Structure 1
Amino acid sequence: MDEFLYTNRWYWKNVDDEMEPKTYTCYNCGETISSREGYTCSESSFAKGTYGKIYICHICKRPTYFFNNEQVPGSLLGDEVKYLPENINKAYNEARKCFSIAAYTSSVLCCRKILMYIACEKGAEEGKSFVEYIDHLDNNGYIAPNMKSWVDQIRLLGNEATHKLENKNREDAELVINFTSILLKIIFEFPSLLN
């Protein structure tokens, strides 16, 4: 865990603690909070309208910006998955963070790479082709018959993100992260719960 990102030792100066309360899910700590602390932004000190607000999470002390009710960065999509190997956990959280800042193509590419990480974690040799990694997972029973379409969707959207100029959209990234989350739970989290 990156202490800088997850510490609650942040202190903000000149915070307005009488702002209109805002309930949201913090992108950093994942908690749903209602904050009154932060900063407002207007065009000038004489302007009457407010153009944006920065709210401070009272749990982790991280800022979140709101403009026209759009949260930046957004909350993390996908469930937290337990018992993941470190490299897979980093890639999964990278995909989730990419999604939270609307970097959808990057999010899809991370999920594609996770399939390679899973295959290597489950015995495939590094340096193989992507098809060989998918075959390894399939041939060794890590992909149940009803999961093949999920893995294929991750593969296809990941291939498009890798080999075509077109960027991926929110819907593509959301689908891929949700499928990846379920796949990781089935392969890593659920078996570890039995131990």
Structure 2
Amino acid sequence: MGDMHLDLMVTDRMFGRIQAGSSEAFRLSTCPRCGRNQALVVARTTPGRVYWLRCSNCGRGLVEVDRTVYPGTKPLAEPQGLPEDVAAAWDEVRSCLGVGANTSAVLVARKILLHVAVGFGLAAKNERGRAPDFAEAIAHLETEGLITRRMKPWVDRIRQVGNSATHELPAITEAEASDVASFTEQLLKLAYEMDHLMSQPSEETDEPATGYRLIASLRPPTTEWVS
């Protein structure tokens, strides 16, 4: 662990030192990049309101101010089987949420939804040469079965939030952005992850996964039988 400090340069005037092997040289703080929760203390203020840290696993830097870590941890998860461009856009949504850029997160999430609709057969341009709007994308995804009847109330809420993000200046709240992002995550799972999991060989054989294994991988553990 101590070798990670060998490439550090520090300012000339210092009022105290932290011994590399002491308990003060380590801090429990979740790394936003790799998710590990132990970091090396590079420097701190006195009292300890601000810590300059380095993840002991990946070596990346982070700053902790009054127990808030910057950059923020990315919420939600990355569904499996995403195409490269979709994965990059979804990572941007998560990054925006992690730093409180809620309006930006919603705008990118809407863009992902339109991209998914086009990927599932919606024309990229209409007869007037215009890209499909949000309502057209939703209608197409419903036709394709990616949006079910029980998801309709959620879709209506997403539509309202998305329109505000596009046309109005007031910022989107954290709760609204979380709703949009959670919906987008589920849509990506239905659009890409299910097919990806079905294409993977099962643990027992080399055959593709069956329906029960697929459902079990997408849902939390339950004792209820799913037919």
Unmatched tracts of structure 1, length 5 or more: 1-10, 43-47
Identity of aligned residues (%): 32
> How many angstroms apart in 1 are the aligned matches of 2:74 and 2:154?
21
Q: How does 1:76-91 map to 2 (within 5 A)?
A: 76-91=74-89
> How many angstroms apart in 2 are the aligned matches of 1:80 and 1:137?
21
Q: How does 1:10-29 map to 2 (within 5 A)?
A: 12-14=7-9, 17=20, 18=22, 19=24, 21-29=26-34
Which of residues 168, 184, 195 in structure 2 aligns to 1:164?
168
For the Cα contact (< 8 Å) 1:111–1:154, is it kept in 2? no
Write the letter of the residue equivalent to 2:27: K
Q: How does 1:10-89 map to 2 (within 5 A)?
A: 12-14=7-9, 17=20, 18=22, 19=24, 21-29=26-34, 31-40=35-44, 42=45, 48-89=46-87
> How many angstroms apart in 2 are the aligned matches of 1:194 and 1:75?
30
Which of residues 151, 154, 165 in structure 2 aligns to 1:150?
154
- CA pair 167-50 structure 1, distance change in 2 beyond 3 A: same
In the other structure, the counterpart of 2:93 is 95
For the Cα contact (< 8 Å) 1:64–1:71, is it kept in 2? yes
CA distances 1:99-137 after superposition (whole Å, capped 9, x unpaired): 111111111111111110110111112212221111111
Instruction: Give the 4+ runs in structure 1 shifted more than 6 A.
Output: none
Aligned residues: 179
For the Cα contact (< 8 Å) 2:94–2:105, is it kept in 1? yes
Larger Cα-atom Rg? 2
Task: Answer with 17-26 or 79-88: which moved more.
Answer: 17-26
Q: TM-score, normalised by structure 2?
A: 0.71
Write the letter of the residue equivalent to 1:96: R
Q: Could you say which structure has the greater relative contact order, defined with CA pairs below 8 angstroms and 6 or more residues apart?
A: 1
